[in-house]
């Protein structure tokens, strides 16, 4: 399987992130469990990068996870699922364990 990469420019820092066409069921399940364990501690809002801001994360995160679980086998949704992985990376970088 060929891996794809794209760059996110954030505060003049380039971060190369692997873009996968399909995530495994285990990766999806682990990500869903990570968010579900932290729903009550999510910040009100979050900025993933200069172009991506989620103003009501506490309402949005459960909807994103539901969409991810429902659409996980469809390649057309891998971009959206990749954004959820990026969201987790941002939350961890901001201090969420």
pLDDT tens digits, one per residue of 2-43: 444 444 444 444 455 566 667 899 999 999 999 999 999 999
Q: Which one has a higher pLDDT value, 2 or 91?
A: 91
* The predicted structure's pLDDT at residue 75: 87
Give me the sign of the Cα torsion angle 56, 85, 53, 93.
positive
In this structure, the number of other CB atoms found within 10 A of the CB of residue 78 comes to 17
In this structure, the number of other CB atoms found within 10 A of the CB of residue 95 comes to 7
pTM of the model: 0.78
* The predicted structure's pLDDT at residue 13: 42
In order of 6, 43, 49, the CA distances from 38 in angstroms are 28, 10, 21
- Tell me, what DSSP letter sits at residue 21? S
Per-residue pLDDT at 67 exceeds 50: yes
* The predicted structure's pLDDT at residue 18: 62
């Amino acid at each position: 399987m060929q891996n794809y990469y794209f760059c996110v420019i954030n505060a003049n820092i380039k971060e190369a992130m692997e873009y996968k066409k399909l995530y495994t069921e285990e990766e999806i399940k682990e990500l869903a469990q990570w968010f579900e364990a932290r729903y009550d501690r999510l910040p009100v809002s979050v900025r993933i990068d200069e172009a991506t801001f989620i103003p009501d994360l506490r309402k949005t995160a459960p909807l994103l996870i539901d969409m991810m679980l429902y659409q996980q086998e469809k390649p057309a949704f891998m971009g959206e699922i990749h954004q959820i992985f990026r969201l987790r990376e941002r939350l961890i970088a901001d201090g969420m364990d």
